[in-house]
Structure 1
Amino acid sequence: MDVTIRLSGLLASAAGYKRTTIEFGEGVTAGEVFMALGIPVSGDWVRISINGVLSDRKHVLKDGDEILYFPVGGGG
């Protein structure tokens, strides 16, 4: 199945791209996809949107899904 991956902010900088489409096997989760990208950052501060809806790492993906991984900002 094909999923479109979008990255923003520091994630895009670390990966070297903002958007790509990758083929994965059935039953893969959003968290497994993030780990497969090999971006050298802690996933603790990364949030996930799937087809425009906030989701979590356990969400099982379907063919054609679009995933946005984005860093959580903080202030202080």
Structure 2
Amino acid sequence: MRTVSAADASRHFSKILREVKDGETVVITSHGEPVAKLEPLADAEADKVRREEAWRDLLDHLRTRPALNLGKFNRDELYDDD
């Protein structure tokens, strides 16, 4: 991963875009602070697929867990000092 200033990114956008297409990740800074990251779309798509799979796995896991049947209660009963 390399870092370029916004001014350099603007001047050399086509070159940077080719590098990103070839697999390079580029962080763009403004006044020394990172503000954007250009990465190959394949990596971004792979991350999206992994997040979606993790979300489905979590939902499947939660569906298999038994629900707790705690009954109904109100606030007064919760703090009742019998």
Per the shorter chain, which TM-score range?
A: under 0.3
After TM superposition, the score normalised by the length of structure 1 is 0.23
The higher radius of gyration belongs to 2
**Bigger strand share:** 1
**Bigger helix share:** 2
Determine which structure has greater relative contact order: mean sequence separation of CA pairs < 8 Å that are 6+ residues apart, divided by chain length: 1
